[in-house]
Amino acid sequence: MRQAEDVTFGGSGLDRVAALRGDGARIATLLAEGTVLPLWRGKPLVDSAALVWLAADSPVLQGAGPAVFLGLDDGQPRFTQDISHWSPDEPIAEASGFLDPNLQTHPALPAHHAFQDLRNVMALLSPRDAELAATAKAVLHWHHCHGFCAACGQKSDMVQAGWQRSCPACGAQHFPRTDPVVIMLVTRGNRLLIGRNAVWPEGMYSLLAGFVEPGETLEAAVRREVVEETGVRIGAVRYLASQPWAFPASLMFGCIAEATSDQITIDPAELQDALWINREDMVTVLAGQHPQIKAGRKGAIAHFLISNWLADRLD
């Protein structure tokens, strides 16, 4: 797919400079010269449609977790730090559903700088900001969930500028994890198969998706997930594009799959509903004009794949 990397969080040309990660003195110099993206409970600091970067000595970062080196942004050193230890003065409203609409502001920052769910702003960010934010969110989440050695259970140490954890007890080395997920444009003639999860906003439908299991190819995962969720049989499968999806740590593999059957038999443990929709009706869905069906969120690879399918740009 020629426009594959135009997807949100797609490759922006960020220079990750992995060769520098083991040079502690150089990383310390870069941190002093560079800027830091703070994350609070997985939310990046944002001003309108841009990330907010702070100096390493900013009071906002006092007590923060170790800095993770993200790379060079057109020569500018970029880091991220977790400040989840900080507690806002205002009560923290509980988020409902899969999207957190709440904004948190820090007393040391302007009121228009706020920590917010990346899904709220992902389609507004520049490609570089989107890649940096997704990287920061994913790697900090990994550190939060993998602070202890999986081999012996002892507390591990962050090394390699945040891109590795080392166990001082048994010497085991651990690396950031990414979970492969297939997401598929299932077509049959002029129609597309879409479904909805019960926890989604009312009326919202999207493409089917599921995790790739150990020992399974992408093609096999596509066929298995579709038949498990809807009973629809799949023939040819072709890879289209990928998207890093830091919610919390997935890599989405977008594929197009040709259905060889029509009848839908839903697995209620997986989906609330699934249906076939033709191109003409899908155009009205993306335009927000369909009377019953709402499109998935802009910025997600599902929206990207559907838009390119409608525009006949999948080759």
Q: Is 179-310 CATH 3.90.1660.10?
A: no
Strands, DSSP E only, in the chain? 35-40, 43-47, 50-51, 54-55, 68-73, 76-82, 114-115, 157-159, 164-166, 173-174, 179-188, 191-196, 208-211, 234-245, 250-259, 273-278
- The CA distance from 213 to 118, in Å, is 27
> In terms of pTM, does the model score above 0.75?
yes
Ordered per-residue pLDDT tens for the chain, 315 residues: 888 999 999 989 999 999 999 999 999 999 999 999 999 999 999 999 999 999 999 999 999 999 999 999 999 999 999 999 999 987 777 665 668 889 999 999 999 999 999 999 999 999 999 999 999 999 999 999 999 999 999 999 999 999 999 999 999 999 999 999 999 999 999 999 999 999 999 999 999 999 999 999 999 999 999 999 999 999 999 999 999 999 999 999 999 999 999 999 999 999 999 999 999 999 999 999 999 999 999 999 999 999 999 999 998
Q: How far apart are CA 237 and CA 257, in angstroms?
A: 4
Q: pLDDT by residue (tens digit) across 134-172?
A: 999 999 999 999 999 999 999 999 999 999 999 999 999
Domain-by-domain residue ranges, the chain? Answer: 4-145, 148-177, 179-310
Ramachandran quadrant class, 171 (left: phi over 0; alpha: psi -120 to 50; beta: rest):
left
**Torsion angle in degrees (nearest 10) through CA of 299, 305, 311, 315:** 130
Q: CA-CA distance, 151 to 171, in Å (whole number)?
A: 9
DSSP sequence for 201-249: PTTB-B-EEEEPPTT--HHHHHHHHHHHHH---EEEEEEEEEEEETTTT
